C-alpha cells in the first residue's frame, strides 16, 4: 500500500497543501471516490446513533461523505476551510434542510456550546493539527458520544500494468515521497493514535475492500485532486500524465483501481 508520508504540522508543505484541494474543487467533486454503503452502516451501528443524532463533520469537502450520512435524516453541521469546496457542497446538499455548511478550519471553528452525538471526518482528519483535533472533538461530544474517522486508501496493486505505472513514476517523478505500508499495519497505527490521544477508547475498526474502474481521462482527473500532484511543476506533471494516459490506453483504455475503505469508531472516554 502506498500512502503519503506523515507530514509534521509545522512543515510549510503541510500548511500549504492542507487547503490545496480548494483550487480543484470541481475536479474533486467529479473524480474523488465515494464510500461503500457497508461503511456507513458500520459507523451508524458502531456509534449507536439515535434517530435524531447530531453530527459534526470536519472537512466535508464537496460533501461526498456528507450525502451518505445525511440520507438517513441526521442533522449535520459541516465545516470546510475551502470556500470553493464548501460552495459545491452547499449546492449538492441544498435539498437537505438538516445540513448546514460553515467555511472554517476546525481549529478556528467556534463551538458556541454546541454538543454532538458524532464527530465525523472523511479523508480529512490528518489535515487537522493533532494538538487540537482529538481534544476539541471530545469537548463537543456528549458524554457517550463517538468519533468516526474514515479514509479510502489504495493497497499495493499487482500485475504488469501496476509495475509499468511504478516505472513511470520512477522516471518522471523520482523524488515522489511515498511510504509503503500494509493496510493492516496502517489500521493498527491509526487505531493506536486514537487510543493514545487520551480522549477516546480504542476504536472499533471496519475494513471494506472495493474497487473502481477508470478510463485514462477519469484516472488523470483523480490524480489531479491529490495534494502532491497539485503541487508538481506543471511541465513535470504534463509529462507524467501523458505517460500514464498512454499506458492506460495501451491496456484497453481502462484500469481497475482497488481501494480499502477504513472506518475507525471510538467512544469518548
CB proximity list for 10: less than 8 A, separation 6 or greater = none
Q: Return the pLDDT at 10.
A: 55
Q: Which of 2-11, 13-22, 122-131 has the highest mean pLDDT?
A: 122-131
> Taking a C-beta distance cutoff of 8 angstroms, is the pair 56, 120 a contact?
yes
The helix/strand/coil state of 187 is helix
pTM: 0.91
Give the per-residue pLDDT at 252: 96
Which among 119, 120, 118, 85 has a CA at the least distance from the CA of 101? 85
pLDDT greater than 60 at residue 2: no
User: Residue 24 to residues 5, 15, 101, 215, 221: CA-CA distances in angstroms?
Assistant: 22, 17, 19, 19, 10
Q: What is the model's pLDDT at position 179?
A: 61
Residue 152, pLDDT score: 96
**Contact (Cβ atoms closer than 8 angstroms) between residue 268 and residue 141:** yes
Q: Classify residue 99 as exposed, middle or buried by CB count within 10 Å of its CB (0-12, 13-18, 19+).
A: buried
Confidence of residue 3 (pLDDT cuts 50, 70, 90): very low
Q: Give the residue-averaged pLDDT of 30-53.
A: 97
Question: Does residue 7 register a pLDDT over 50?
Answer: no
Which pLDDT tens digit goes with each residue over 96-135? 999 999 999 999 999 999 999 999 999 999 999 999 999 9
pLDDT value at position 5? 42
Region of 115 please: left (phi>0), alpha (psi -120 to 50) or beta. beta
Band the pLDDT of 15: cuts 50, 70, 90. low
Predicted local confidence at residue 229, as pLDDT: 95
Indicate the pLDDT class of residue 184, thresholds 50, 70 and 90.
Answer: confident
Residue ranges of domains in the chain, CATH in brackets:
2-152+178-212+258-267 (3.40.50.150)
User: What does the DSSP assignment read for 73-113?
Assistant: T-EEEEEES-HHHHHHHHHHTTT-TTEEEEES-TTT---TT
For cell 468516526, what's the residue? Answer: 148
Amino acid at each position: 500500500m502506498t500512502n503519503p508520508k506523515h507530514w509534521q504540522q509545522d512543515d510549510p508543505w503541510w500548511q500549504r497543501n492542507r487547503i490545496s484541494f480548494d483550487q480543484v474543487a470541481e475536479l474533486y467533486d467529479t473524480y474523488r471516490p465515494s464510500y461503500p454503503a457497508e461503511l456507513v452502516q458500520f459507523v451508524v451501528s458502531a456509534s449507536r446513533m439515535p434517530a435524531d443524532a447530531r453530527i459534526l463533520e470536519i472537512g466535508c469537502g464537496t460533501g461526498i461523505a456528507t450525502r451518505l450520512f445525511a440520507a438517513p435524516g441526521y442533522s449535520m453541521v459541516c465545516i470546510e476551510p475551502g470556500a470553493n469546496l464548501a460552495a459545491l457542497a452547499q449546492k449538492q446538499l441544498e435539498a437537505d434542510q438538516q445540513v448546514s455548511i460553515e467555511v472554517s478550519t476546525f481549529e478556528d471553528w467556534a463551538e458556541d456550546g454546541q454538543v454532538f452525538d458524532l464527530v465525523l471526518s472523511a479523508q480529512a482528519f490528518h489535515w487537522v493539527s493533532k494538538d487540537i483535533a482529538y481534544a476539541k472533538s471530545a469537548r463537543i461530544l456528549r458524554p457517550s458520544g463517538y468519533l468516526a474517522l474514515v479514509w479510502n486508501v489504495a493497497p499495493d496493486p499487482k500485475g504488469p500494468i501496476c509495475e509499468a505505472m511504478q516505472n513511470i513514476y520512477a522516471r518522471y517523478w523520482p523524488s515522489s515521497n511515498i511510504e509503503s505500508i500494509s493496510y493492516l499495519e496502517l489500521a493498527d497505527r491509526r487505531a493506536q493514535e486514537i487510543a493514545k490521544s487520551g480522549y477516546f477508547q480504542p476504536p472499533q475498526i471496519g475494513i471494506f475492500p472495493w474497487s473502481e474502474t477508470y478510463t485514462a481521462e477519469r484516472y488523470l482527473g483523480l490524480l489531479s485532486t491529490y495534494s502532491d500532484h497539485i503541487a508538481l511543476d506543471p511541465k513535470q506533471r504534463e509529462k507524467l500524465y501523458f505517460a500514464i494516459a498512454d499506458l492506460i490506453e495501451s491496456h484497453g483504455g481502462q484500469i481497475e483501481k482497488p481501494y480499502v475503505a477504513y472506518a475507525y469508531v471510538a467512544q469518548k472516554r
